[in-house]
Structure 1
Amino acid sequence: MDLRQMEVVVAVAEEGGFSAAARRLHVVQSAVSGTVRALERELGAQLFHRTTHRVSLTSAGEAFLPAARVALRAAEEARAAVDLAQGELRGEITVGVMQGLYAGLAPALARFHREHPQVTVRLRQTPADRIPQALRDGALDLAVAALDMSRLRGLTTRSLAREEMVLVTAPGTGPGAAETERAVTTLAEAARLPLVDFPPDWAIRHAVDRAFRSASLERTTTFEVNDLMAAADLIRHGLGVTIMPPSMAAWFPELPTRPFAAHAPVWTLRLVHTRAEQPAAITALLRHIG
């Protein structure tokens, strides 16, 4: 068994198929399939269920994957230690981000890249619900996420931003537009309007659901979309309103916003990583974010 075989298995598991893994590793698909088959023969166990439409891990594969990631990470840390001794950082970092990228992340990555051009940073857009386990499993090295602390037990966090969300309404016509001259709104008023919601695994939805539950209010979701641009387009055409952080609402300056008078849903963005001692490249990137 060698590190390349482990890298191939991890790529197939993370990409969900042999073709996607081949593209990620810049090899032909037959090379990926052959590597996996050879490793399975060596281990005496099948690592993947293969069907026409999907590839999934077997129980043996589920057991193998975390250990393979640990081995690959150890090898990466060994290489990084040598590079650091020679005065240059190398390696690869996988950063998890939610839909609606943190506005401060791109400038931080640009500064980091100028300082450490030999380190590859891979961004992986991941539903908020999956980020904590992806960090614990080693699929992500760090993440920028808006999650409750209860979901982040055992992980190290640092607050990046805290915002009270606002109601985003139609420009001049449509639901909520007649009241846009008012300075503020309430959750009760918002609950009576047709709402454009986001999927249940989105961090925005978590915060909005929690706020309505705390206020003992029921609301009706008229539209559910997994894209901020789609939500803005529905609102722009007078079909509903939505609730989002002001930093995201600012991307759509033509849509009026109203703060909540009280009990606004709160969006707290955090930098999250494991408590384990971090390789030098990750430590360097952490210094740039926030």
Structure 2
Amino acid sequence: MDLRQMEVVVAVAEEGGFSAAARRLHIVQSAVSGTVRTLERELGAPLFHRTTHRVSLTAAGAAFLPAAQATLRAAEEARAAVDLAQGELRGEITIGVMQGLYAGLAPALAGFHREHPGVTVRLRQKPAGRIPQCLRDGVLDLAVAALDATQLRGLTTRLLAREEMVLVSAPGPAPARAAADRPVRTLAETERPVTTLAEVARLPVVGFPPGWAIRQAVDRTFRTASLEYSATFEVNDIMAAADLVRHGLGVSIMPPSMAAWFPELPTRPFAAHAPTWTLRLVHTRAEQPPAVTALLRHIG
């Protein structure tokens, strides 16, 4: 058994398939399959259930995966220690992010890269709900995400920003049709500099999937207010949401930092009880590799 075999198995497990693992590792799929079969013969147990449509871990694979991930991290830390002793940082850092980057992240990465050009940084978009477990499993080294305090047990956090979300609408009148059991209310009828949750509840909304930080904050706020809203469209991309809003298919609720990407779309704050998200820098409490420690100093 060697590190390369472990790397291939980890890639298959994390990417959910042999083709995706091959793309991640920049090798052909047959090499991935062959490496996994060789290791399975060596271990005397199958690591994956293989079907036409999906690949999943067997019990043996589930036992093997965390040990392999820990071994790969240890090997990376050993290489990083040698590089540090020679006065140069190398290695890889994987950062979990949501749709849309925290405004301070790109400048921080630019400064870090100027100081440590030998470190490869990978950004991985993930739903906010999955990020804490990915950190605990070692899939991510750190994350910049909007997470609730209940999701942060066992993790170290640093506050980066707190935003009250705003209503984003089309430049013209609001959509002409709401849910069948709600009276239609156009934005022109409520043409005030602010809006309310009750007004939004009577409009069709372009929303986001469960697990997204925006969705979590919006759902929580409406539940607290004993209100329901109608998600006429659900998308997993901020750009797509803005495009649907632009064509009059609904309004959307976003953090102002994201709404600012679309200056042609009018925004209005909430008069009270606005959905709020809190952006945090998050990582495990364990001692970090030198490259991660260096990057943490740049993010603030």
Q: For this structure pair, what is the TM-score category when the shorter chain's length is used for normalisation?
A: over 0.9
1:27, CA displacement in angstroms? 2.5
Q: What pairs up with 1:59-208 in 2 under 5 angstroms?
A: 59-175=59-175, 176-178=186-188, 181-208=191-218
> Counterpart amino acid of 1:77?
E
Paired position in structure 2 for 1:11: 11
3-state SS in 1 of match to 2:89: coil
Paired position in structure 2 for 1:254: 264
User: Deviation string for 1:68-101 (max 9, x for gaps)?
Assistant: 0111111111111111111100101111111222
Matches of 2:239 and 2:227, distance apart in 1 = 27
Paired position in structure 2 for 1:57: 57
> Counterpart amino acid of 2:141?
D
RMSD: 1.4
3-state SS in 1 of match to 2:211: coil
1:180, CA displacement in angstroms? 6.8
Which deviates the most, 87-96 or 231-240?
231-240
Paired position in structure 2 for 1:284: 294
1:23, CA displacement in angstroms? 2.5
Matches of 2:41 and 2:158, distance apart in 1 = 45
Matches of 1:240 and 1:11, distance apart in 2 = 39
Which deviates the most, 250-259 or 47-56?
47-56
> Counterpart amino acid of 1:190?
V
Matched, 1:222 2:212: no
3-state SS in 2 of match to 1:109: helix
Which deviates the most, 215-224 or 157-166?
215-224
| CA separation of 1:179 and 1:275: change in aligned 2, threshold 3 A | farther
1:172, CA displacement in angstroms? 2.6
User: Deviation string for 1:92-150 (max 9, x for gaps)?
Assistant: 11111112222222221121111111111111111111111111111111111111010
Paired position in structure 2 for 1:25: 25
3-state SS in 1 of match to 2:162: strand
TM-score, normalised to structure 1's length?
0.96
Paired position in structure 1 for 2:255: 245
Matches of 2:144 and 2:246, distance apart in 1 = 29
> Counterpart amino acid of 1:205?
R
Matches of 2:217 and 2:275, distance apart in 1 = 6
Matches of 1:146 and 1:65, distance apart in 2 = 28
Matches of 2:200 and 2:19, distance apart in 1 = 46
Count of aligned pairs between the two proteins: 290
1:29, CA displacement in angstroms? 2.4
User: Deviation string for 1:24-82 (max 9, x for gaps)?
Assistant: 22223222222211211111111011122222111111111111011111111111111
3-state SS in 2 of match to 1:286: helix
Matches of 1:116 and 1:190, distance apart in 2 = 48
Identical amino acids, percent of aligned pairs: 86
Structure 2's unaligned 5+ residue stretches are 176-185
Matches of 1:179 and 1:277, distance apart in 2 = 56
Is contact 1:169-1:242 (8 Å) kept?
yes
Matches of 1:143 and 1:197, distance apart in 2 = 23
1:181, CA displacement in angstroms? 4.4
Matches of 1:155 and 1:229, distance apart in 2 = 31
Is contact 1:171-1:177 (8 Å) kept?
no
1:179, CA displacement in angstroms? 5.1
